[in-house]
Structures are given as C-alpha cells and as structure tokens.
C-alpha cells in the first residue's frame, strides 16, 4: 500500500480486510508540508466499533492456543517486512506527518526495538515452579493473554508508538485493536498490510479510525480488557479515569515538560548542540522533547544563550523532500496557531524573544504548517510557557542560581516525564539522580528515552496507571497470571478430612 497524491477515502482494517466506514462521518487528512488535503478518514460509529470488537473476540481463542513459538514466527516475519519495506514506510510517515526522512527512519528503527522485545516473549512468559512446598504439593504459575485489548496512538509517532504499544500485546496472545490518530491514518493501515503479509490470523490485528465516539466505546465496552494510550495529559487522565471506572487495566501516557539542567562546568558548545536536536527535532512534537534549559549561574546563562542564538539562526526548516532540512512543519494549522499563541502570551507576560520563529521564510512560498525555531529567555516559573507543555518549536532558557534551585523547580512541576543534566561533575550528577522526581533521567544525554528493552514511563501527571511502554513490563501488562498448586496422592494413602487452614506444619515430608 502506498499513499497517493490525489485525495482518497481511507478505510478501517477489520478481520484482515480494508473495510469502508459506514457512519457517514469523515475527517480530512492533511499533508503538513503543503497544507493540502490528501485523504478523508472515516470516523467509526459506536456500532462499527462494536462489530470490530466482536470480530477480534472471535479470532482470539485460536491465537491464544497457538504455541508461543508459532506466534513469535509471525512477529519475526513482520519485523523482516518492516526492514525490507522501510523506504515505503518512510514516505508514508513523511507525507502525513511532515517529518524529515532522517527522523522518520529513526522512528522506524526505534519501533523495531519494540518488535525485537516482543520476539523475546517466550522468555518473558515463563512462570515459576516450586517442588514440594509441603505435603508433596508442587506450586507453579502460568501467564495467559487477557483477550481483546485496545491501544490508542498519537499523531507525533505514527509508527513507533503503535509498534511500542501493540507488538508485545500481539506476541503474548491477545487480539489487538488500534485506534490511530485521525491525523495520521495511513501509517496504521500500512502496518496492517504488513501484519497480514506476515501471516497474522485475521481478526488479531484491527485498525478502527475514529474520534471520541470510537474511543468512548473502547473504554466502556466490557469485551475490552486493557487500554494503552499515548497523548496529552488531559486526555490521558480521562482515558485512565474512564477505563478504570469500567474495570479495565489502563496505562495512559501523557505529556511532559522536560528540562535540561546546564551546569557551569558543562562543555557549552557540546551542550548547545545536544539542546538543538533534543529541543527542535521533529518540530518539537515529541513528548520527550527538551522544553527548556535551566542554566545554573548568570554568566553561564548568558554564554549559553549566546551560543544557542548563533546556532539556532542557522537551522533550516522546510519540506521533507529537501535533504538538508533540520525539521519540517507542525501537524496542523490549529497546532501552528496554538504554538504562536504561546509565544505571544510569553512576550506579553514579560519574556524576551531571543529568536522569533513565528513567520519563517518558508511560509512565503508554502501553505504548509511551519513554525520556525523560537527561543525565549527572561522566563519566570509563574509564566504560562513555563508551566504548560508547548507541542512545537518554542523553547525557553531559565536562569537559576544553584543546582538545588533547578531540582526544586522541576520537582514542583506537575509533569514528570523526562529530564537531563549536562555536567562534568560526578557529585552533581549523583545528587541530581537521587533527588529528581521524574520518571526518565539522563546525564549528558540529550533525550533520556530508554531503549526498547527498558521500561518507559514518566511520573506525576505524565503517566496514569502502573503499566509501561517498551520493556519487559509490557508482558506483565498484557497478561494475567494464575498460580496452581498440584498434588497426586498415592493410591494407598489414607484419605482423611482436615478443617484447619492449609499450612505445611503437619504436612507429610
């Protein structure tokens, strides 16, 4: 499947087939690079979602009974297809998200890490076994898939996040329903075709396109056993509260306000280079993007700001079709307007505009949704741009007097997704690691996102629920365990009744 230049009407993917929407409701899909409408995506009704769930439910028992080895063979073939069809997938990602080709390729590679983790499912599904816990009884545990599970993915990683929140769910034996962002539906449908080609049984992988009506049915339907979500904090909280209200297992990952602490002993040139990619890559549309720098010391703040100003002025934004572009547009005109409103508001509140990206030169020749790299300083913690996540290339520099002040500002923030620190001091790094109250921590690392075999998840209002994305915890999240006590008595053994609570005090050896 490839994305066509002309506008077309997309489908759902149900029971191994592309299925036209019947609700009569559609949403436009844009190419952010040009601003053009490239497709219409159907928005599923409650009835359509129910039908998709039923198809998944019917497919689940056979997939559950299939040996883990056979299931992993399918996952392994799917991985190979991701590699061989990578260039096609890069084009799909770029056209509907506006990412550069280099960034899209990096997203796919990180997504494959999650598939690799899913291939290790046989190891993660092993239970425990104890011999003769008492009275010739052996005790052991076994893990089983949950059934039909749902995942809701965001627009900013149309491939990596769906792979991260579905691969393990499929491998351990569940039937998975993916509700992708209606802004980037092509990528999910492309993945659907790869799963089918890999030999995944029909009904085990389902894509339902939709909006809140579809989401609410997934949250409320009694057949859905678990929900995994990635998106903004307000929606993550809604997903968690509604899903748990309906007795579902929920892992909901929200936004972040991720700061980089810059110490006076840091190499400022290296730190500034790290800041550029971490802050502005993918037009800053990453939940782990660096939102701003907390720079310790007035002199260090001034020097660091001067270096950033010079480097940012050399960044190039434009269409993904140009190889030397650093980043492209934001996802929509609405997003562009929201980002600009944050910049305007910060200036009104007293911030200083170091670099103004509100009207980049590329906008003179393109109707794409471009916002240039923007940098503000003279920021105080009571400003909106400090308190709220800005999902776009408006970044801030905040001066602080001490490392302790920086730690306290971060710990007082309601979001706790990721944080990093640049320093040459091991003592400072240790203090930082021990005292910071954030889920993912880096030292001299631009973006502290863990690799696919480590758990991903923030603290505070950046994550709701106890599940994780990536890592071995996913196998736990998408399975349930039973503990079995087993004894085979000798035929000659006396059969007597006991009314005491079972214990091994009087058990036969």
Dump strand ranges (E) for 36-155: 36-42, 129-134, 137-145, 148-152
- Give the DSSP H or E segment for 484: strand 479-486
Q: Which residues pair with 253 in a beta bridge?
A: 230, 463
Kindly report the number of other CB atoms within 10 A of residue 194's CB atom: 21
- Report the largest interatomic distance among the alpha carbons of the chain, rounded to a whole angstrom: 93
3-state SS class at 439: coil
Tokens at residue 33, please?
A: 């690079």
The C-alpha atoms of residue 29 and residue 10 are separated, in whole angstroms, by 10
Nearest to 194 by CA among 214, 170, 217, 223: 170
Kindly report the number of other CB atoms within 10 A of residue 81's CB atom: 17
Catalytic residue positions, numbered: 287
The DSSP secondary structure of 226-281, one letter per residue, reads EEEEES-HHHHHHHHHHHHHTT-EEEEE----EEEEE-TTS-HHHHHHHHHHHHHG
Angle at 191 between CA 187 and CA 193, to 5 degrees: 120
Kind of pairing between the strands at 36-42 and 258-262? unpaired
The C-alpha atoms of residue 79 and residue 97 are separated, in whole angstroms, by 23
Give CA 388 to chain center in angstroms: 19
């Amino acid at each position: 499947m490839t994305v066509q230049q002309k506008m077309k009407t997309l489908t759902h993917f149900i029971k191994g087939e592309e299925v036209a929407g019947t609700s009569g409701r559609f949403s436009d899909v844009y190419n952010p690079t040009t601003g053009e409408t490239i497709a219409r995506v159907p928005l599923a009704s409650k009835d359509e979602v129910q039908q998709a769930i039923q198809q998944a439910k019917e497919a689940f028992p056979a997939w559950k009974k299939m040996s883990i080895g056979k299931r992993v063979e399918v996952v392994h073939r799917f991985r190979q297809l991701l590699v061989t069809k990578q260039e096609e997938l890069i084009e799909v990602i770029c056209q509907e998200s506006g990412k550069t080709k280099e960034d899209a390729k990096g997203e796919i590679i990180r997504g494959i890490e999650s598939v690799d983790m899913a291939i290790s499912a046989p190891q993660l599904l092993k239970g425990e076994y104890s011999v003769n816990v008492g009275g010739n009884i052996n005790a052991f545990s076994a893990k089983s898939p949950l059934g039909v599970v749902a995942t809701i993915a965001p627009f900013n990683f149309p491939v990596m996040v769906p792979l991260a929140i579905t691969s393990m769910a499929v491998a351990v034996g569940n039937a998975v329903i993916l509700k992708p962002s209606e802004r980037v539906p092509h990528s999910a449908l492309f993945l659907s075709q790869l799963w089918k080609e890999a030999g995944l049984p029909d009904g085990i992988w389902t894509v339902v396109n939709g909006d809140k009506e579809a989401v609410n049915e997934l949250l409320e339907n009694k057949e859905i056993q678990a929900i995994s979500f990635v998106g903004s904090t307000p929606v993550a909280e809604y997903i968690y509260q509604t899903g748990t209200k309906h007795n579902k297992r929920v892992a909901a990952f929200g936004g972040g306000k991720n700061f980089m602490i810059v110490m006076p002993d840091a190499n400022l040139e290296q730190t500034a280079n790290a800041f550029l990619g971490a802050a502005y890559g993918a037009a800053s549309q990453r939940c782990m993007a660096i939102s701003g720098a907390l720079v310790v010391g007035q002199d260090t703040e001034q020097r660091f700001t001067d270096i950033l100003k010079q480097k940012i002025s050399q960044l190039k934004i434009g269409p993904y079709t140009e190889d030397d572009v650093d980043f492209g547009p934001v996802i929509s005109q609405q997003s562009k307007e929201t980002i600009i409103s944050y910049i305007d508001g910060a200036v009104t509140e007293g911030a200083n505009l170091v670099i103004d990206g509100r009207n980049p030169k590329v906008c003179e020749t393109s109707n794409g949704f471009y916002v240039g790299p923007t940098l503000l300083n003279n920021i105080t913690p009571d400003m909106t741009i400090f308190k709220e996540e800005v999902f776009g290339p408006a970044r801030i520099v905040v001066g602080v007097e001490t490392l302790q002040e920086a730690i306290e500002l971060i710990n007082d923030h309601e979001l706790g997704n990721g944080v990093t620190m640049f320093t040459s001091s091991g003592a400072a790094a240790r203090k930082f690691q021990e005292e910071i109250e954030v889920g993912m921590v880096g030292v001299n690392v631009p973006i502290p996102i863990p690799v696919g075999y480590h758990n991903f998840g923030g603290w505070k209002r950046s994550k709701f629920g106890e599940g994780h994305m990536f890592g071995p915890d996913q196998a736990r999240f998408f399975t349930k365990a039973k503990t079995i006590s087993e004894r085979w008595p000798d035929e000659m053994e006396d059969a007597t009744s006991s009314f005491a609570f079972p214990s091994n005090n009087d058990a036969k050896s």
